[in-house]
Amino acid sequence: MASDMNDYFNKKKSEDSSFGKKSSGGSGGGNGPQMPKIDFNFGGKAGLIYFLIAIVVLLVLAKPFTIIQEGERGILSTNGKYQDQALLPGLHFIIPVIQKVYTVDTKVRIINYASAIEASGGNAAGINVKPSITVLDKRGLPVSIELTVQYRLNSQFAAQTISNWGFSWEDKIINPVVRDVVRNVVGKYDAESLPQMRNAIAVAIETDIRESVAGLKNTPAELQSVQLREIILPQKVKDQIERVQIAKQEVQKAEQDVERVKQEAFKRAAEAEGMAQKARIEAQGIADAVTIEADAKSKANYLISKSLTPQLLQLEQLKVQGAFNDALRENKDAKIFLTPGGSTPNIWVDMKDAKQRTTTAASE
């Protein structure tokens, strides 16, 4: 190929030099200057090279391939007709002009239904901000609902979804379903009861949205989560709820005061009952002690009385008589008084004692 190119340039150089000579000679039959002739016959190898270069340029311009990134799917269109199976991530070759690939995002996306101030902040990648949902409660009062919906395109049916709903499928599926479900659920309650029923409302909204999206043909979207962020009530409803809460707190405080008084009364009554019970127990203990002592004495007397036999009494009488006899031997002036019905003297008085003599004389 290099020799062919050298032949071409040498030939061209010789032609240029001969042309210069003819034009500078001043004679030659009066013919004017002639244009050089270019030979486009470069030989077979040169033509093949140019052909290959043209093919490469054509391929670069036509781009007969496409690359699908992770988290995306490719929708192949052949003469305007979508292929049923979406293209997976990777390198794919296509026929230029006849085929075209549309890339759709299958990563998780978010719709934030927020107030006007937050919604004015703009949209980030994969995050769509829309105005909060205005709902009429059971009595017709306006209520604003703020929530976050996370979802993704069903990659299995991505081609069918784009074919049926178009590339704006989110605004045609997710947004209308969410707004319709929120209005149906919240509209069953009074505005005052919404804060207390928040958890039940959040569960009902998420359940109904899932069922509505899953019920569509080919399940175009996969719902990840629905988060109820805020329930914005009218100001007059807020004031009414606040008044009710204050009244409830006052009632609870009064009930607590009454309960405290009752507990104190119960405590005092219990203390008094305890003291009375203690006194009764002590009195009962004393009475029981006296009774026990009396019973013991009674039993002792009974046992003593049972032990007194005629022989024992006679023996005791003899002992007493002997004691008196001994006393009379020592005191000749002693007087002995006999008890009626008995033979044993029970009292004797020593007459030597002046006090006893006086007492005896007085008694006589």
133-192 pLDDT, tens digit each: 999 988 888 999 999 999 999 988 998 999 889 888 988 999 999 999 999 999 999 888
H or E stretch including 321? helix 310-330
Q: With 70 as the cut, is the pLDDT of residue 257 above it?
A: yes
Q: Which of 181, 208, 233 is the last residue of a domain?
A: 233
Which pLDDT band, with edges at 50, 70 and 90, does 229 fall under? very high
Q: Which of 189, 207, 233 is the last residue of a domain?
A: 233
Strand partners, 152: 222
What CA–CA distance (Å, rounded) separates 22 from 34?
10
Tokens 């005629």 belong to residue: 310
Q: Which of 172, 204, 233 is the last residue of a domain?
A: 233
The per-residue pLDDT of the chain, averaged, comes to: 77
Same domain for 254 and 219 = no
Which pLDDT band, with edges at 50, 70 and 90, does 44 fall under? low
Which pLDDT band, with edges at 50, 70 and 90, does 276 fall under? confident
What CA–CA distance (Å, rounded) separates 328 from 111?
135
Same domain for 242 and 229 = no
Same domain for 181 and 81 = no
What CA–CA distance (Å, rounded) separates 210 from 74?
26
Which is higher by pLDDT, 10 or 326? 326
Which residues 6+ apart lie within 8 Å of 346 measured at CB?
Answer: 337, 338, 339
For the chain, the domain total comes to: 4
pLDDT (0 to 100) of residue 201 = 93
pLDDT (0 to 100) of residue 290 = 83
Which of 73, 48, 266, 246 lies closest to 153 in space, CA to CA?
Answer: 73
Q: Is 30 helix (H, G, I), strand (E, B) or coil?
A: coil
Distances 181 to 10, 112, 184, 226 between C-alpha atoms, Å: 85, 16, 5, 12
Q: What b/e sequence results for 256-293 when a residue is b if at least 16 CB atoms lie within 10 Å of its CB, and e otherwise?
A: eeeeeeeeeeeeeeeeeeeeeeeeeeeeeeeeeeeeee
Average pLDDT for residues 215-236, to the nearest whole number?
Answer: 89
Which pLDDT band, with edges at 50, 70 and 90, does 30 fall under? very low
Same domain for 143 and 198 = yes
326-362 pLDDT, tens digit each: 776 776 666 665 555 555 555 555 555 555 554 444 4
pLDDT (0 to 100) of residue 251 = 86
What CA–CA distance (Å, rounded) separates 136 from 105?
35
Q: With 70 as the cut, is the pLDDT of residue 248 above it?
A: yes
Residue span of the structural domain in which 341 resides: 310-363
Same domain for 201 and 86 = no
H or E stretch including 104? strand 99-105
What CA–CA distance (Å, rounded) separates 273 from 266?
10
Does some domain include residue 12? Answer: no
The amino acid at residue 339 is: T
Of the chain, the percentage scoring pLDDT greater than 90 comes to 21
Which is higher by pLDDT, 241 or 112? 112
- Answer for the pair 221, 178: CB distance below 8 angstroms, yes or no: no
